[in-house]
């Protein structure tokens, strides 16, 4: 069975500082990896995804994540955060074989708080 571990439940940082949100996964087959962001009282927004190809993927708002198969990790990074990045971030995995790509397994989330 697949599982996702987000190592930090809360990450406080100052504005314009770099940040890394950690995610490790466990799966017996090839995986597809996602980061979702949830702002207060809202649903989930897809931030970025790794399906295949380049192991470094980027979002339009400056976040990036790197798929590391040997370390089974998919950490999210941003070199300089803004107040507006304050939100809950969820790492998710979808297994990619046997037709079982129908569900996402999520981590417990990391609350990123950007302080002025």
**Which residues sit at the interface with another protein, rule CB under 8 A?**
4, 32, 34, 36, 42-46, 49, 51, 90, 92, 94, 96, 99-109
User: Least distance (Å) from another protein to the CB of residue 68?
Assistant: 19
Min CB(47)–another protein separation in Å: 12
Kindly state the smallest distance separating residue 79's Cβ from another protein, in Å.
26
For residue 9, the SS3 value is coil
Nearer to another protein, 41 or 116 (CB): 41
b/e per residue 62-76 (b: at least 16 CB within 10 A) = ebebebeeeeebbbb
Nearer of residues 28 and 102 to another protein, judged by Cβ: 102
**Is the torsion defined by CA of 43, 9, 112, 89 positive or negative?**
negative
C-beta closer to another protein: residue 15 or 49? 49
Q: Got the DSSP string for 13-38?
A: EETT--EEE-EEEE-SS-EEEEEEEE
Return d(Cα 81, Cα 74) in angstroms, integer. Answer: 19
What's the min distance (Å) between Cβ of 49 and another protein? 6
């Amino acid at each position: 069975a697949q599982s996702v571990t987000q190592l930090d439940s809360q990450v406080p940082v100052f504005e314009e500082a770099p940040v890394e949100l950690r995610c490790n996964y466990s799966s017996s087959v090839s995986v597809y990896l996602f980061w979702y962001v949830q702002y207060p009282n809202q649903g989930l927004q897809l931030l970025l995804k790794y399906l295949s190809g380049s192991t470094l993927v980027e979002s339009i708002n400056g976040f990036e994540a790197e798929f590391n198969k040997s370390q089974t990790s998919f950490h999210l990074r941003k070199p300089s955060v803004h107040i507006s990045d304050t939100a809950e971030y969820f790492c998710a995995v979808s297994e990619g074989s046997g037709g079982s790509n129908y569900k996402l397994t999520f981590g417990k989330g990391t609350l990123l708080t950007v302080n002025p």
